Structure 1
Amino acid sequence: MNMPVFLATDLLFFLLLLALGAAVFHAARREPLRRPWRKVARNPAAMVSLVILLAFLALAVLDSIRFPPKAADGVAQYRNEPASLLDLWLAPLKSRTEKTYSAPLAAYAYAKEMIREPGGGERWDYPRLRHGGAHLADPERERLADILATGAKGLAEGFALWLLPLGLGLAGLYRRDRAGCMERLSALLRGQGEVPWRAIGLTVLALCLLGGAVGELGLKYHVLGTGKVGGDVLYQSLKSIRTGLLIGTLTTFATLPLALGFGILAGYFRGWVDDVIQYLYTTLNSIPGVLLIAAAMLVMQGYMARHEAEFASLALRADFRLLALCLILGMTSWTGLCRLLRAETLKLRELEYVQAARALGVGRGMILLRHILPNLFHLVLISVALDFSSLVLAEAVLSYINIGVDPSMDSWGNMINGARLEMARDPVVWWSLAAAFGFMFALVLSANLFADAVRDAFDPRRGD
Structure 2
Amino acid sequence: METRDKNNASPGMIAPDTAMPMESEYAVETTGKDGIQPDIRQPKKSPTPFQDSMRRLRRDKRAMISLAFLIFFIILPLIGPVIYQHVGGTYNSTTYGNISPQQYHDPFHQELDRQDENPSGQYLLGTDSVGRDLFARLMAGMLISIAVAIIVEIITVVLGLAVGILAGFYGGWIDQLLARFTDIMFAFPGLLFTILLAGIFGSSADATFSHIPLVGANGNARLVLVSMALALVGWPFMARQVRGLTLQLREQQFVEAARTMGTTDWNIIVRHIVPNLFSIVIVQVTLDLGSTIINEAGLSYLGLGVQPPGSSIGLMINDASNLVDTHPWEVLLPSIVLTIIVLSFSFLGDGLRDAFDPRSKD
2:182 maps to amino acid: Y
1:438 is displaced (CA, Å) by: 1.1
Aligned to 2:118: 104
1:88 maps to amino acid: Q
Q: 1:400 aligns with which of 296, 301, 306?
A: 301
Aligned to 2:285: 384
Q: 1:271 aligns with which of 172, 176, 193?
A: 172
1:312 is displaced (CA, Å) by: 9.1
2:345 maps to amino acid: A
1:34-68 C-alpha deviation (Å, 9 max, x unpaired): 332222223222222222211111123226xxxxx
1:383 is displaced (CA, Å) by: 0.2
Say whether the 8 Å CA contact 2:117–2:128 is kept in structure 1.
Answer: no
Are residues 411 and 303 of structure 1, via their aligned partners in 2, closer, same or farther at CA, if it must alter by over 3 Å? closer
1:100 is displaced (CA, Å) by: 5.6
Say whether the 8 Å CA contact 1:100–1:229 is kept in structure 2.
Answer: yes
Q: 2:248 aligns with which of 347, 353, 367?
A: 347
2: CA distance, partners of 1:268 / 1:314: 38
1:217-253 C-alpha deviation (Å, 9 max, x unpaired): x425x45432221223233222211112112222112
Partner of 2:359, secondary structure, is: coil
Aligned to 1:35: 52
2:335 maps to amino acid: F
1: CA distance, partners of 2:213 / 2:258: 56
1:234 maps to amino acid: F
Aligned to 1:452: 350
2: CA distance, partners of 1:243 / 1:315: 13
1:304 is displaced (CA, Å) by: 4.2
Aligned to 1:85: 82
Aligned residues: 298
Q: 1:367 aligns with which of 263, 268, 279?
A: 268
Partner of 1:436, secondary structure, is: helix
Aligned to 1:179: none
1:301 is displaced (CA, Å) by: 3.4
Partner of 1:449, secondary structure, is: helix
Say whether the 8 Å CA contact 1:322–1:406 is kept in structure 2.
Answer: no
1: CA distance, partners of 2:285 / 2:349: 9
More helix per residue: 1
1:37 maps to amino acid: M
Structure 2: 5+ residue runs without aligned partners? 1-46, 88-100
1:282-341 C-alpha deviation (Å, 9 max, x unpaired): 111212323432343343631543676x35998536444323322321122011111111
Aligned to 2:94: none
Q: Does 1:442 align with 2:333?
A: no
Q: Does 1:302 align with 2:200?
A: no
Partner of 1:41, secondary structure, is: helix
Q: Which piece of structure 1 moves more, 291-300 or 266-275?
A: 291-300
Describe how 1:76-225 pairs up with structure 2 within 5 A. 85=82, 88-89=85-86, 91=101, 93-94=105-106, 97=111, 99=113, 101-102=115-116, 104-105=118-119, 218-220=120-122, 222-225=123-126
1:299 maps to amino acid: F
Aligned to 2:318: 417
1:375 is displaced (CA, Å) by: 0.9
Q: TM-score, normalised by structure 2?
A: 0.73
1:151-197 C-alpha deviation (Å, 9 max, x unpaired): xxxxxxxxxxxxxxxxxxxxxxxxxxxxxxxxxxxxxxxxxxxxxxx
Are residues 263 and 359 of structure 1, via their aligned partners in 2, closer, same or farther at CA, if it must alter by over 3 Å? same
Say whether the 8 Å CA contact 1:234–1:435 is kept in structure 2.
Answer: no
Partner of 1:341, secondary structure, is: helix
Task: Give the aligned CA root-mean-square deviation in angstroms.
Answer: 2.8
2: CA distance, partners of 1:260 / 1:234: 39
Aligned to 2:231: 330
1:86 is displaced (CA, Å) by: 5.3
